[in-house]
């Protein structure tokens, strides 16, 4: 009996000296995007991969990249000179070009980066210098439990450089007034997003109400954007007739409050930034597509309503509810909502015509 007890004691002692397994690493770690579409020349990031319960912290790295023929390539990892923001632009403090320029530098960067902690990819403006379009990225991930080599982790497809993007809805709207601050929608022209069939017309100058065009390659590094608000025949308003949109004690987001060195002339306002994209920042909406929402109104004496053109397109209308008894004219104003992002340098013109209006 003593021998049996002695054996059991030795077994328990040896077992207590064995180290328990530490951590867990899944065999199913994977990218949430099998294919990542990357527009050239724009900084974007991917979502973090799915770790499937693996123990943190995880350590990620790119092991190699292959082209469409399966050959190893360093094209995405070659460094190029690009202009980058060291800190976000803030119109509250970066009130002059000199102050804003302190947040910029030209540095050598690759087209692809991988965050070693989160596993996210970042694609830089250097993608504009990449010739080929298709790549597979192979990565390695490890933790206290071990490591996994994940070949063909995701596929990268480089798309053409987009000088202009439409992240959110734009509206050119005629409002009709009933008095006492009550406004009805008279007519609205919209551009919903990048997939809207109106986008090509906006960019080639054939849109009925909104056009966006580059008018000069200067400045080479910075960007200037001139906003013109006009009647439906293209006659521009004096900028004094274009107002901020009231929002309680302040105003909805506008280009004036999110740029540097606003210059007015007889037909519009020109906004500046030391580097694209424009707008770079949203004072009200700090991130996401809402950064590009910019609102304005016009004074109620900027236009007269073109009833003939309106009824030719929409049929007869009873205008009596909108007649101002003191003037006999139709109360009206424009509601303006921009939702555009310009990624290129140089000087641009964004022009919005308001439906069924004539400048007074």
Torsional class of 181: left (φ above 0), alpha (ψ -120 to 50), beta (otherwise): left
State residue 288's pLDDT score: 57
How does DSSP assign 57-123, residue by residue? P-EEEEEEEEETTS-B--GGGS-EEEEEESS---TTT--SHHHHHTTEEEEEE-SEEE-TTT--EEE
State residue 17's pLDDT score: 54
Looking at the domain assignment, is residue 16 inside a domain?
no
State residue 22's pLDDT score: 80
Please tell me whether residues 135 and 170 are part of one structural domain: no
Mean pLDDT of the chain, nearest integer: 92
Does 2 score more than 60 pLDDT? no
Domain that residue 73 falls in: 23-159
State residue 49's pLDDT score: 97
Looking at the domain assignment, is residue 2 inside a domain?
no
Distance between CA atoms of residues 129 and 272, nearest Å: 26
Please tell me whether residues 277 and 154 are part of one structural domain: no
Per-residue pLDDT averaged across 336-351, rounded? 96
Does 68 score more than 70 pLDDT? yes
pLDDT above 90 covers a percentage of the chain that reads 82
State residue 284's pLDDT score: 75
Does 10 score more than 50 pLDDT? no
Does 15 score more than 60 pLDDT? no
Last residue of a domain, one of 159, 186, 215: 159
Does 118 score more than 70 pLDDT? yes
pLDDT band at 60 (very low <50, low <70, confident <90, very high): very high
pLDDT band at 6 (very low <50, low <70, confident <90, very high): very low
Find residue 139's DSSP bridge partners. 62, 150
Please tell me whether residues 282 and 335 are part of one structural domain: yes
Please tell me whether residues 149 and 186 are part of one structural domain: no
Please tell me whether residues 45 and 130 are part of one structural domain: yes
pLDDT band at 11 (very low <50, low <70, confident <90, very high): very low
Looking at the domain assignment, is residue 196 inside a domain?
yes
- Per-residue pLDDT tens for 299-312? 999 999 999 999 99
Please tell me whether residues 101 and 197 are part of one structural domain: no
328-358 burial, b for 16+ CB within 10 Å, e for fewer?
eebbbbbbbbbbbbbbbbbbbbbbbbbbbbe
State residue 84's pLDDT score: 83
Please tell me whether residues 121 and 169 are part of one structural domain: no
Last residue of a domain, one of 116, 140, 159: 159
Distance between CA atoms of residues 270 and 222, nearest Å: 13
pLDDT band at 97 (very low <50, low <70, confident <90, very high): confident
State residue 282's pLDDT score: 78
State residue 7's pLDDT score: 41
Looking at the domain assignment, is residue 13 inside a domain?
no
Please tell me whether residues 177 and 140 are part of one structural domain: no
Does 278 score more than 80 pLDDT? yes
Looking at the domain assignment, is residue 1 inside a domain?
no
Q: Does the global pTM surpass 0.75?
A: yes
Please tell me whether residues 88 and 212 are part of one structural domain: no
Does 230 score more than 90 pLDDT? yes
Looking at the domain assignment, is residue 7 inside a domain?
no
Last residue of a domain, one of 131, 159, 187: 159
- Number of domains observed in the structure of the chain: 2
pLDDT band at 20 (very low <50, low <70, confident <90, very high): low
Please tell me whether residues 142 and 202 are part of one structural domain: no
Range of lowest pLDDT (52-66, 89-103, 130-144, 175-189): 89-103
Structural tokens at position 258: 């999110």
Looking at the domain assignment, is residue 319 inside a domain?
yes
pLDDT above 70 covers a percentage of the chain that reads 93
Distance between CA atoms of residues 338 and 294, nearest Å: 5
């Amino acid at each position: 009996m003593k021998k049996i007890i002695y054996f059991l004691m030795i077994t328990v002692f040896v077992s207590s000296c064995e180290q328990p397994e530490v951590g867990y690493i899944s065999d199913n770690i994977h990218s949430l995007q099998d294919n990542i579409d990357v527009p050239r020349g724009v900084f974007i990031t991917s979502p973090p991969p799915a770790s499937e319960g693996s123990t943190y912290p995880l350590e990620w790295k790119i092991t190699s990249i292959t082209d469409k023929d399966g050959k190893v390539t360093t094209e995405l990892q070659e460094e190029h000179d690009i202009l980058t923001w060291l800190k976000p632009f803030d119109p509250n403090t970066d009130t002059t070009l000199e102050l804003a320029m302190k947040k910029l530098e030209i540095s050598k960067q690759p087209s692809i980066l991988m965050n070693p902690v989160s596993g996210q990819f970042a694609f830089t403006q250097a993608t504009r210098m990449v010739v080929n379009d298709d790549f597979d990225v192979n990565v390695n991930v490890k933790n206290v439990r071990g490591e996994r080599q994940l070949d063909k982790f995701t596929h990268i497809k480089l798309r053409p450089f987009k000088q202009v993007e439409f992240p959110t809805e734009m509206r050119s709207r005629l409002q009709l007034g009933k008095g006492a601050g009550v406004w009805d929608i008279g007519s609205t022209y919209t551009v919903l997003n990048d997939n809207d069939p109106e986008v090509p017309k906006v960019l080639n100058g054939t849109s009925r109400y909104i056009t966006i065009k580059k008018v000069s390659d200067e400045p080479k590094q910075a960007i200037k954007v001139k906003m013109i608000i006009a009647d439906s025949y293209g006659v521009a308003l004096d900028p004094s007739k274009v107002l901020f949109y009231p929002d309680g004690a302040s105003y909805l987001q506008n280009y004036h409050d999110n740029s540097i060195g606003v210059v007015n002339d007889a037909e519009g306002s020109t906004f500046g930034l030391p580097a694209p994209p424009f707008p770079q920042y949203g004072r009200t909406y700090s991130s996401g597509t809402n950064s590009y929402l910019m609102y304005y109104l016009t004074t109620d004496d900027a236009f007269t309503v073109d009833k003939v053109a309106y009824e030719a397109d929409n049929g007869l209308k009873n205008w009596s509810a909108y007649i101002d008894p003191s003037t006999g004219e139709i109360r009206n104003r424009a509601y303006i909502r921009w939702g555009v992002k310009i990624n290129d340098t140089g000087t641009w013109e964004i022009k919005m015509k308001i439906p069924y209006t004539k400048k007074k």
